[in-house]
Structure 1
Amino acid sequence: MLIGYARVSTADGRQSLDLQHDALIAAGVAQDQIYSDQASGKKDDRPGLHACLKALREGDVLTVWKLDRLGRSLHHLVKTVTLLTERGIGLRVLTGQGAAIDTTTAAGRLSFGIFAALAEFESELIRERTMAGLTSARARGRKGGRRFALSKAQVRLAQAAMANRETSVTSLSKELGIRPVTLYRYVDSTGQLRDYGKRVLEG
């Protein structure tokens, strides 16, 4: 069975799903087998897509107008299609850059394999750039990772203040420019150091 999915980026009427619906129906997808969303492709919360993926069964073919209607990114797309393939479900793209993809055919699987290889290549490039950036930062005396909200002096101040039972946590947090929940990451209610506090003083 052919199952269709359509998406437009806005829900304010400036874009219409009609073009995609018409293309899917022309490709053989029944009107009642088309799922859709009006949301950004970068959003995780796409109920139409979730319902579509849930409805698909082994032997079905997920049909989309363009490749970018399905995935948030190249990596998300590859992951989604790989999971579909493992379930015995095909993918067919009607137009655009991914029009050669039809994972129910050998040629289509080859095309998607190229996309998957590009995704892996992109991931490796990002990892290499990240590692190179960290190495360069360390050479200049900077370390990667989370920046702490409190300095060493502020942690010591928090220790002393919290050891005093009359200290107002709200007032102390305001003085330090942080929220109470953040303060408790550094010291407990008696002024004892917690993980973040220890890491600041050790650093």
Structure 2
Amino acid sequence: MKIGYARLSETDPLGSLEEQLLHLREYGCAESEIYREYKTGIVGHRPAFNEMMCRVGPGDEVVVWKMDRIGRSVDSIAKLIDELFQRGASLRTLGEGAENIDTSALSNTQDIRIFKLLARFRMKIEKERSYHSKLRRNPDRTNKSTLLLSREQVEYARLSLATREQPMLELCKVLGVSPPTLYSYVGPNGELRDRGLRVLRATAQQGR
């Protein structure tokens, strides 16, 4: 069963919901199987989403236009995908490129663990951003000896680029660095480069 979900947030134009509904109908979601979430003004209050999840079962496919319609963080999306996987259901997004995802193609629980791992790294990175933003504002930040990324951030970048689960520009935004800076730590396929190796060596020495 194809179960559609459309959400209109506080900042979305009114036409956004109709556009979502159009995509869901074209994909084959029956009108009676599309759940509509209107802006509530209450953070985290999603009655239509909760109602939908109560009826999702084995073989069902939850369909959204884009990923941000059903989750606002890597962590929340990872938890949703895992829950659907445990129920024998899947998630399908209808966007283009990286926004086109079909989790029924995930072969096993190892694929699901990738999402969980990305979520854990994302949480660690958010906690460190304040500290590292101060470091980047330091007048000596142009010094090549200054390492702007932590071990967790380097590992997160390696995993994201190796699995291609996150676009490079989005990854740079999360880490707070430019693409050239990122590529001085990690290559486009997730391989470690000079500064990334230095980060790992420095943290290894600290742990002794």
What interval of TM-score do these two structures reach, taking the shorter chain for normalisation?
Answer: 0.5 to 0.7
Which stretch of the first structure deviates more once superposed, 13-22 or 31-40? 13-22
Q: CA deviation at 1:100?
A: 3.6
User: 1:94 maps to what in 2?
Assistant: 94
3-state DSSP of counterpart to 2:91: strand
Native 8 Å contact 1:103 1:109 kept in 2? no
Q: CA deviation at 1:15?
A: 4.1
Distance 1:108 1:22, change over 3 A: farther
User: 1:74 maps to what in 2?
Assistant: 74
Matches within 5 A, 1:1-203: 1-10=1-10, 14-39=14-39, 43-96=43-96, 98-106=98-106, 114-127=114-127
Native 8 Å contact 1:3 1:63 kept in 2? yes
- What amino acid does structure 2 have at the position aligned with 1:68? D
Q: CA deviation at 1:92?
A: 0.5
Q: CA deviation at 1:104?
A: 1.0
Distance in 2 (alpha carbons) for counterparts of 1:40 and 1:98:
29
Structure 1 residues 21-77: Cα deviation after superposition (integer angstroms, max 9, x where no partner): 110011111111000111279821111111111121111000000000001322111
Distance 1:16 1:125, change over 3 A: closer
- What amino acid does structure 1 have at the position aligned with 2:94? L
Structure 1 residues 100-150: Cα deviation after superposition (integer angstroms, max 9, x where no partner): 421111479988665443222112324556899xxxxxxxxxxxxxxxxxx
Distance in 1 (alpha carbons) for counterparts of 2:81 and 2:55:
15
Q: How many residues align?
A: 133
Where structure 2 has 5 or more consecutive residues not aligned to the other structure, the ranges are 133-208
3-state DSSP of counterpart to 1:17: helix
Distance in 2 (alpha carbons) for counterparts of 1:108 and 1:64:
22
Q: Give me the TM-score of the superposition, normalised by structure 1.
A: 0.54
Distance 1:69 1:112, change over 3 A: farther
Distance 1:101 1:49, change over 3 A: same
Distance in 2 (alpha carbons) for counterparts of 1:67 and 1:12:
15
Structure 1 residues 142-180: Cα deviation after superposition (integer angstroms, max 9, x where no partner): xxxxxxxxxxxxxxxxxxxxxxxxxxxxxxxxxxxxxxx
Distance 1:38 1:108, change over 3 A: farther
Q: What is the identity percentage for the equivalent residue pairs of Structure 1 and Structure 2?
A: 35
Q: Give me the TM-score of the superposition, normalised by structure 2.
A: 0.53
Which stretch of the first structure deviates more once superposed, 48-57 or 112-121? 112-121
Distance in 1 (alpha carbons) for counterparts of 2:64 and 2:111:
16
Q: CA RMSD, aligned part only?
A: 3.4
3-state DSSP of counterpart to 1:91: strand
